[in-house]
Amino acid sequence: MNKRITVIKGDGIGPEIIDEAIKVLDAAADKYHHHFTYNYIDAGGCAIDKFGTSLPDASLAACLDCDSVLLGAVGGPKWDQVDPAIRPEKALLKIRKEMGLFSNLRPAKVFDVLAAASPLKPEIVAQGIDLLIVRELIGGVYFGERETKEINNELKATDIMSYSEHEIERVGRVAFETARKRRHHVTSVDKANVLDTSRLWRKVMHRLAEEYPDVTYTDMLVDNTAMQLVKNPSQFDVVVTENMFGDILSDEASMITGSIGLIPSSSLGVGSRGMYEPIHGSAPDIAGMNIANPIGTILSAAMMLKYSFEMEAESQAIEDAVNAVLNEGYRTADIYTEGKIKLTCSAMGDKIVSKL
Ligand code: NAD
Ligand code: IPM
Ligand code: MN
- Nearest-atom index, ligand 1, CA of 13: 18
pLDDT number for residue 335: 96
Is residue 113 domain-resident? no
pLDDT number for residue 31: 98
Q: What are phi and psi of 57, to 5 degrees?
A: -55, -40
Parallel, antiparallel, or unpaired: how do β-strands 238-241 and 130-136 relate?
Answer: parallel
Considering the domain architecture, whether residues 91 and 216 belong to the same structural domain is answered as: no
Cβ distance 256 to 110 under 8 Å?
yes
- Nearest-atom index, ligand 2, CA of 74: 6
Residue from 179, 243, 235 nearest 211 by CA:
179
Measured distance CA(319)–CA(340) in Å, rounded: 20
Considering the domain architecture, whether residues 91 and 139 belong to the same structural domain is answered as: no
pLDDT number for residue 235: 98
Cβ distance 302 to 136 under 8 Å?
no
Residue from 102, 40, 48 nearest 79 by CA:
48
Task: Give residue 183 CA to ligand 3 midpoint distance, Å.
Answer: 26
- Which DSSP state fits 230? H
Domain boundary among 224, 256, 288: 256
Is residue 266 domain-resident? no
Domain boundary among 256, 281, 305: 256
Considering the domain architecture, whether residues 248 and 286 belong to the same structural domain is answered as: no
CB 89 less than 6 A from any atom of ligand 2: yes
Task: Give residue 324 CA to ligand 2 midpoint distance, Å.
Answer: 30
Considering the domain architecture, whether residues 250 and 124 belong to the same structural domain is answered as: yes
Q: Do the annotations mark residue 331 as ligand-binding?
A: no
State the ligand closest to the CA atom of 243. 2
Catalytic residues: 142, 191, 223, 247, 251
Closest residue to atom 6 of ligand 1, CA basis: 283
Is residue 20 domain-resident? yes
Is residue 228 domain-resident? yes
User: Identity (one letter) of the amino acid at 37?
Assistant: T
Considering the domain architecture, whether residues 213 and 342 belong to the same structural domain is answered as: no
CB 350 less than 6 A from any atom of ligand 2: no
Residue from 102, 107, 103 nearest 237 by CA:
107
Is residue 265 domain-resident? no
Considering the domain architecture, whether residues 150 and 212 belong to the same structural domain is answered as: yes
Considering the domain architecture, whether residues 20 and 82 belong to the same structural domain is answered as: yes
Q: Do the annotations mark residue 129 as ligand-binding?
A: no
Q: Which residues lie with the beta carbon below 6 Å from any ligand 1 atom?
A: 13, 17, 73-76, 89, 92, 260-261, 277, 280-286, 292-293, 296, 334
Is residue 16 domain-resident? yes
Is residue 77 domain-resident? yes
Q: What's the CATH number where 164 sits? A: 3.40.718.10
Is residue 108 domain-resident? no
Q: Do the annotations mark residue 290 as ligand-binding?
A: yes
- Nearest-atom index, ligand 2, CA of 73: 6
Considering the domain architecture, whether residues 148 and 250 belong to the same structural domain is answered as: yes
State the ligand closest to the CA atom of 135. 2
Measured distance CA(41)–CA(58) in Å, rounded: 8
State the ipTM, two decimals.
0.99
- For residue 35, the tally of other CB atoms under 10 A from its CB is 10
Give, for all 356 residues of the chain, the pLDDT tens digit.
Answer: 999 999 999 999 999 999 999 999 999 999 999 999 999 999 999 999 999 999 999 999 999 999 999 999 999 999 999 999 899 999 999 999 999 999 999 999 998 899 999 999 999 999 999 999 999 999 999 999 999 999 999 999 999 999 999 999 999 999 999 999 999 999 999 999 999 999 999 999 999 999 999 999 999 999 999 999 999 999 999 999 999 999 999 999 999 999 999 999 999 999 999 999 999 999 999 999 999 999 999 999 999 999 999 999 999 999 999 999 999 999 999 999 999 999 999 999 999 999 99
Domain with 47 in it: 1-99+271-356
CB 247 less than 6 A from any atom of ligand 2: yes
pLDDT in tens, 308-342: 999 999 999 999 999 999 999 999 999 999 999 99
Tell me how many domains the chain contains.
2
For 336, the 3-state DSSP assignment is coil
Considering the domain architecture, whether residues 190 and 61 belong to the same structural domain is answered as: no
Considering the domain architecture, whether residues 54 and 180 belong to the same structural domain is answered as: no
Measured distance CA(278)–CA(261) in Å, rounded: 7
